[in-house]
Amino acid sequence: MKIGLFSPFSNPIATPEYLSTLGPAAEERGFHALWAAEHVVLFDEYGSRYPYSDDGRIPVASDTGFLDPLCALNFLAAATSRIRLATGICLVPQRNPVYTAKQVATLDWLSDGRVDFGVGVGWLAEEFEAVGASFARRGARCREYLAVMQTLWKDPVSEYKGEFYTLAGCRQYPKPVQAPHPPIWFGGESEAALRRVADLGQGWYGFNLDPEAAEERIKRLDVLLRERGRSLGEIEVAVSPYLKPIEPTALARYRDAGVDQLVVLGFAQDSETLLHTLDETAERWVLPAQRL
All structural domains of the chain: 2-290 (3.20.20.30)
Residue 291 has pLDDT above 60, yes or no: no
Report d(CA 233, CA 225) in Å as an integer.
10
Q: Is 158 helix (H, G, I), strand (E, B) or coil?
A: strand
pLDDT of res. 243: 85
Report d(CA 70, CA 183) in Å as an integer.
15
Residue 204 has pLDDT above 80, yes or no: yes
Q: What percent of the chain has pLDDT over 70?
A: 98
Nearest to 115 by CA among 151, 93, 153, 83: 83
Report d(CA 241, CA 184) in Å as an integer.
21
HSE at residue 253, side-chain half, CA atoms within 13 A, is 14
Q: How confident is the model at residue 286 (pLDDT cuts 50, 70, 90)?
A: confident
